């Protein structure tokens, strides 16, 4: 083999290895499970891959959590300032939506 052939093979191997590493890092940043808590209790744990609506009873009333298209968001809440709704859609591990007045906590794991 020529020197240029060896360099080509090494570069190709490095490129393929880098692509696999990048794919692994990107795929692991997305969460797989939604954990919803009300106060100190876990209300439920749901896969991010299954669309559903979850209603959570808190001290102020019902908060509506929507899981769809591998994202989760707070669709409705009885709190006065609606900051939890303004937090938008989340989809990555460690992301959370918190409604302090109604004591509802959503975390992606």
The number of CA neighbours under 13 Å toward the Cβ of 26 is 6
Task: Return the CATH fold of 33-108.
Answer: mini-chromosome maintenance (MCM) complex, domain 2 (2.60.320)
pLDDT in tens, 62-98: 999 999 999 999 999 999 999 999 999 999 989 999 9
The model carries a pTM of 0.72
Instruction: Decide if pLDDT at 61 tops 90.
Output: yes
Task: Give the domain ranges of the chain.
Answer: 1-30, 33-108
């Amino acid at each position: 083999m020529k020197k240029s052939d060896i360099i080509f093979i090494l570069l190709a191997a490095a490129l393929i290895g880098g692509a696999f590493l990048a794919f692994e890092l990107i795929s692991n940043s997305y969460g797989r499970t939604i954990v919803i808590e009300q106060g100190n209790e876990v209300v439920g744990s749901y896969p991010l891959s299954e669309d559903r609506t979850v209603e959570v009873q808190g001290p102020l009333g019902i908060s509506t959590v929507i899981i769809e298209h591998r994202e989760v968001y707070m669709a409705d809440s009885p709190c006065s300032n609606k900051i939890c709704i303004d937090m938008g859609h989340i989809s990555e591990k460690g992301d959370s939506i918190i409604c302090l007045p109604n004591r509802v906590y959503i975390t992606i794991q």
